[in-house]
Homo-oligomer: A and B are copies of this chain.
Amino acid sequence: MDEWIKSLKTNTPQEGFELAIKLATKGIEYVQPDEKIRKKIRPKYSRNPDNLIAASEVIAIHYQTVAAANNYWRTNKRVY
Contacts and interface: CB of A to CB of B under 8 A. Distances in A.
Interface of A: 1, 3-9, 12-14, 17-18, 21, 23-24, 26-28, 30-32, 37, 41, 44-65, 67-69, 71-74, 78, 80
A53 B58 contact: yes
Number of copies of this kind of chain in the complex? 6
A57 to B, nearest CB: 5
**A interface, over-half SS:** helix
14 contacts: A5-B14, A6-B13, A7-B13, A8-B73, A21-B27, A27-B57, A27-B59, A30-B59, A50-B51, A51-B53, A60-B62, A67-B69, A68-B68, A69-B74
Contacts of A71: 78
